[in-house]
Amino acid sequence: MRISNKGQFFIITTFIIVSILYLMSRWMEPTNIIDTSEIVTRDEVFTFNNIVEKVTYTINGSKDCEDLNYALQEYKAFAEDYALSKGYNLDLNYTVAPCPQPNTPTTVAFNITLTSPNSFLKAEFSCGWPAGCPI
């Protein structure tokens, strides 16, 4: 039984060509593929902007000065607990100028800081009540 030399040559040549093409494709492949999905999964900026926006809704939705103080205390506790559950450190400080009489205008000053291992975000602003904050 004689095996054809042409068949052996064809099989060996095919194997060598495929091996060379495979090695060339591995060699030409970029060594670093940039992973941009990490940026999408980090949501510190979204969380921070949402907290600032909801602070303005809290001020705009308050009926009187007493309700304003209560609503801000409740929202501060909620926002800090929420940030802590996501692994962030939220420092939401505010100062409400005393209301001399019920339903008289007052000013609320905010200093909001959100820190995480990846980000440091800070906002300082003030809003008038009952005029409200710009949304």
Higher pLDDT, 101 or 49: 49
Q: Which whole number is the average pLDDT over 23-46?
A: 76
Higher pLDDT, 98 or 93: 93
Measured in degrees and rounded to the nearest 5, phi and psi for residue 34 equal -70, 125
pLDDT at 83: 93
Q: What is the pTM of this model?
A: 0.66
Residue 8 has pLDDT above 90, yes or no: no
In the chain, the N- to C-terminal Cα span, in Å, equals 89
Q: How confident is residue 134, by pLDDT bands cut at 50, 70 and 90?
A: low
Measure the CA–CA gap between 48 and 18, rounded to whole angstroms. Answer: 54
Peptide bond into 130 cis (omega under 30): yes
Residue 84 has pLDDT above 90, yes or no: yes
